[in-house]
Structures are given as C-alpha cells and as structure tokens.
Structure 1
Amino acid sequence: MKAFVPTGDPAEPVVLADVPEPTPGPGEALVKVEAFSVNRGETFKLEKPAPGDRPGKDIAGLVVQPAADGSGPSGITRVIGHPMAGGWAEYAAVPTGALAELPDDVSLLQGAALPLAGLTALRLLRTAGPVLGRRVLLTGASGGVGHFVTELAAAAGAQVTAVTRDAARGARLAELGAAEIVHDVADARGPYDIVLESTGGQALPRALARLAARGTLVWFGQAGRVPATLDFFDFFAGPESAVIRHFHYLDADTRLDDDLATLVRLTAEGRLHPEIGRVSDWADTATTLTDLRDRRIRGKAVLTVS
C-alpha cells in the first residue's frame, strides 16, 4: 500500500512510498483511510525522524476488518480514529479504544479534524476545572486547538479572551464565542481566573502576570519553541499563590473512544465546529506540512486520500 514516510528534509518532510499493509492485532480494527489531518506539533517531530517512523494520528474512514477480539465497531462502519502513528496511509491498524463511529451527518473532513485538537481542547478544559462565569485567557488561539477551546469554553459559560495576531482569525474566534480578542498577551487586561498557555517564551510570564491570586495557569504547549523563564518574586505582583500545571492530553482519566464519541456528538448537534483552513488531496501533504509549520494555515488542514 501507499503511505507517507519522513525524509528529514525541511523542504519536503514526507514522501509517498510503498510499505506493507498493517496486520491488526486482536484489539485493532483495520481502517481504510479516506481523510486525515495534520498537526503543527507533528511538523516538529518530522525534523528529526527516527528510523521506521510512520507519522499520522488523526484519521477518518471505513472499518474494513473489525477487531478479532470482538471489540469496537463492526465493518463496514464510518469512524474517526486516533492511532499513535501510521495514519497518513491507505490503511491503518487502530486500537478499538481509539475509535469512534461517525454518523452520516458529520462529514469525513469534519471527523478527520477532530481527534488530536479536539481531545486536547476537551481534556484541557476538564483540567482547568469549572469555567462558568470565570475569566479565561487563551494564548495561541488561532490554531485548531484554540478554536475548539474557545467554542467549548464559551458554551460552558466562560468569558474568554483569545490572543491571536491575525485580525481575520480574531473575528472568527469572536463568532465562536470569545468575549474579547487581543493581538498580544501584553494587551490582555486581566486579572484572569484561568490562563491556558501554549506559546512559551516571553508569552508565558506575561500571561502569568495577568493571572489572579490563587488562579491556575495550565501550560499545554510551546509553539514558539522558545523556553520560558520565570521569576519567583514576580508572583507577589499579582498571581500570588498561583498554580502552574503542565498538561499532556494523553494523561487523562477518561477513555479515548469515549472522548472521541463526545466530540462527534457535539459536532453532530451543531455545538462544535471544526475550523478547517485547508482541504487538499494527499498528494499535497508535504506542502501542507510546511505551510502549517510556517503558520500559513488557519485552524486545521485536512488531506483526502485518493
């Protein structure tokens, strides 16, 4: 079968190659991939691939071979999946615990855009705790995760301030429920009960400075790729006794399949809107990855498998 493999070349990070079709384990279903999405974090990993790496975590398609142990969807069933690797291919073997059925009223494009970004947003807000009536500052809001967080938090009653440098992206975030758009963390007024920080570098201490006393900052990324430096004594200027929590979306008490099903249900009900900035044939995967890496795509990028 055909699948994308890493090259280590920043100009063309993946190429299409012939690889063996996967052999599913007892608890895995074989999925015919019809669409997949790519994530900016995946572009960083492609810079230094390990031998045998097979990228791809977000897929939508059809179960063509159900799991031998009887778990998960039967064939032929439309699904979304979140394998840890190997999704940018014609077929993928996916643990049934990382699959959710996709109803007819949710498109394959929408489904492919949901897994990693949607799971991150859903679990990030659970980590932050109750948000009803609380002021929330969200940095790096113009990516796929940011759109989902904004819509979910606003629907849950939060007053969201979204940070994005792009005016058009800010307008869309306002449509999704953001109460305020600022173009730099320094422009955020605060104080905020919760800060959701994904940029790193100088953005993190500036965001922390706008946190209320005993507030919570959840650090869920470092998209700027610059380490942050914090000063203990800066906490006394406002965020006294604040909590800083590291977040990893796979460290959760809920099951992947349950959370994927929740994302699908919210989308089907019109309560969650995957923000897809580009749809293209999978022949354009390498170009799409470089454009995503260099911030030329708003929201999610979805490739269709032809």
Structure 2
Amino acid sequence: MRRLIPTGEAMRPVEFADVPRPVPEADEALIEVEAFAPNRGETFLLERPTPGLLPGKDVAGLVVQAAADGSGPGVGARVVGHPPQGGWAEYAAVPTHSLAVLPDGIDSVRAAALPLAGITALRLLRTAGSLTGRRVLLTGASGGVGHYVTELAAAAGAEVTVVSATPERGMRLAELGAAEVVHDVAAAGGLFDVVLESTGGPQLPLAVSKVRPGGLLLWFGQASRTPATLDFFELLGGPAGVTIQHFHYAGAPYGPELATLVRLVEQGRLHPEIGRVADWSETAGALVDLRERRIRGKAVLTTGAVR
C-alpha cells in the first residue's frame, strides 16, 4: 500500500512510500482510508521528524477488517477515527475505542475534519464548565478548533468574543455565533468570565488582563510558537484571583466524543469549516499552506477511495 512519510524538507514535508499494510492489534479495526485531515501541530512535528514518525490522527473510511476481540463496528461500516498515528495512508489500524460509525448523511470529507479539533473543542468547553450567560474570549479563533469552540459555546448560551486576524475569517465566526469579532486581544471590550487562549507569546499576558476577578483562563495552545512571559508584579495590578490552567486534549478513548460530534453534525448543530479539499497527491503543498496559515479551518485530503 501507499503511505505518506516525512522527508524533513520544509517545502516538501512528505512523500509517498510503498509499505506493507498495517497488522491490527486485537482491539483495532483495519480501515480503508477515504479521507484524512492534517492538523497544524503535525506540520511542526514534520520539521524535525523523529525516527519512525507516521503522521495522521484524523481519518474517515471503511472498515475492511473488524477487530479480532469482537469490539467495535463490523466489516463494511463507514467510520471516523482518531488513531495515535499512521492515518496518512491507504489503510490504517485504529483502536475501536476511538471510532464512531457514520450515518449515510455524513460523507468522509466532513467526517475527517472532526476528530482532533472537535474533540479538543468538546473537552475544552467541558473543562470551562457551564457557559450559559457567561462572557467568553477566544484567541486564535480562525483555526479548526476555534470554529468548533465558537459554534458550540454560542449554542450553549455564552456571549463569545473571538480574536481573528482577518475580517473575512471574522465574518464566518460571526455567522457561527460570535457576538463580537476583534483583530487583537487588546481590542476586546470589558472583562470575561472565561478566556480560552491558544496563541502564547505576548498575547498570553494580554489575555490574562482580560479575565474578570475570580475568572478562568484555559491555555490550550501556543500557535505563535513563542514562549510566554508573565510578570508577577503586573498580575498584582490586574484582576484578583485569576486561575490560569493548562489544557491538553489528549487521552483515549475518543469514541464517545466522536459519536457526539457526528450526532451534532447530523442534526445540523455543528458545521465543519473546511478551507480546502484536495487529492492526497497534493498533501505536501497543503501542509505548507496549513503551517503558514493560508487555509481557513480544516484541510482535507482524499485518497481516491471515497464512495
């Protein structure tokens, strides 16, 4: 079968290789991959790939071999999955606890856009607690996670202010429920019950200053790739008793969240934002554009196996 493997080259970060099909563990199903969606964090891993790195965590396709232990969907089921790695290939072995069955109304392209970004959004908002009637500030809102967070938080009754780099991207976030769109953290008006911060660098101290006394800042990313510095004495002059909490989405099983995301999409309550769909022969270019923030929302690559 064909698989995309890292090259270590900046402008051509992956290339095709012919390799054997993966042999599933007893609790894994073998999936014929129809579509996959790279994440921006994966583009950073490709800059200095570790030996044996097999990228690919967001896949959708068809079960061609059920798990030997009898768990999970059977042969012929259409599924979305979140394997630990190895999804940028014709076939991927996926633990059954991290699969969800797709209804007929959801195609593989939309499904592939769900896993990492959607699971992150669900778990992030769950960590934030009840949002009804609360003011929420979201930085770095133009990426895949930001679109899901905006739509889900607004639907939960939050008043959401988003930070987006461009008016075009901000317009889409407003359509998804954002009450206010600003282009810099400093421009966000007033104080917020919850701040969801994903940029790092100099934006983190600004975001902290926007939290109301006793409020919560959840730090879930560092898209700027610049370390943040907090000045204790500046904090003394800001809101009192602010909680700053590190957040990372990871931790299987992912199946329950995937099933929730699929249900929300099927009910028309969640809308994957897909900025590019292309054949997987164009993966290298898509990865560069994703890394350089030239794609709004998600990029999805198709293998040609889509039915």
Q: Same fold (TM over 0.5)?
A: yes
Cα offset, 1:20, TM superposition: 1.4
Displacement of 1:165 in angstroms is 1.1
Cα drift, residue 52 of structure 1: 1.4
Q: Shift of residue 141 of structure 1? A: 0.1
Partners of 1:249 and 1:257 in 2: how far apart?
A: 14
Residue 258 (1) aligns with residue 256 (2): yes
The amino acid that maps onto 2:277 is V
Stretches of structure 1 that go unaligned for 5 or more consecutive residues are none
- Return the offset for 1:250: 1.3
> Aligned residue for 1:44?
44
Q: Equivalent residue for 1:67?
A: 67
| C-alpha distance in structure 2 between counterparts of 1:23 and 1:228, whole Å | 43
Give the Å deviation of 1:171: 0.3
Task: Compute the displacement of 1:232 (Å).
Answer: 1.5
Secondary structure, counterpart of 1:38 in structure 2: coil
What's the TM-score once normalised by structure 1's chain length?
0.98
CA distance in 1 between partners of 2:145 and 2:70 (Å): 33
State whether structure 2 residue 145 is matched by structure 1 residue 177.
no
2:152 corresponds to 1:152: yes
> Offset at 1:27?
0.2
Higher mean displacement: 234-243 or 123-132: 234-243
- Equivalent residue for 1:14? 14
Q: How does 1:135-214 map onto structure 2 within 5 Å? A: 135-214=135-214
CA-CA distance at 1:107 after TM superposition: 1.4
Give the total of aligned pairs: 304
- Structure 1 runs of 4+ with >2 Å offset: 233-239
Distance 2:293 2:221 in 1: 16
1:251 offset after TM fit, Å? Answer: 4.4
Q: What secondary structure is seen at the aligned counterpart in 2 of 1:291?
A: helix
- CA–CA distance in structure 1, aligned partners of residues 20 and 109 of structure 2: 26
* Residues 183-241 of structure 1: CA deviation (Å, up to 9, x unaligned): 00110112000000000001100011011011000000000000000012222333211
CA RMSD of aligned residues (A): 0.8
Cα distance between partner residues in 2 of 1:14 and 1:100: 28
* Matched residue SS, 1:97: helix
Contact 1:209 1:234 in 2 (8 A): no
CA deviation profile, 1:243-299 (whole Å, cap 9, x unmatched): 0110110148xx410110000000000000000000000000000000000010000
Judge conservation of contact 1:31–1:62 (CA < 8 Å) in 2. Answer: yes
Aligned-pair identity (%):
66
TM-score (norm 2): 0.98
Inter-partner Cα distance in structure 2 for 1:4 and 1:85: 12
Alignment of 1:298 onto 2:288: no
Hey, what does 1:3 align to over in structure 2? Answer: 3
User: Would you say the 8 A contact 1:235–1:241 is kept in 2?
Assistant: no
SS in 1 for 2:63: strand
Amino acid across the alignment from 1:173: L
What is the rounded CA distance, in whole Å, between the counterparts of 1:165 and 1:300 in structure 2? Answer: 16
Which secondary structure does the structure 2 equivalent of 1:25 belong to? coil
Give ranges in structure 2 of 5+ residues lacking alignment: none
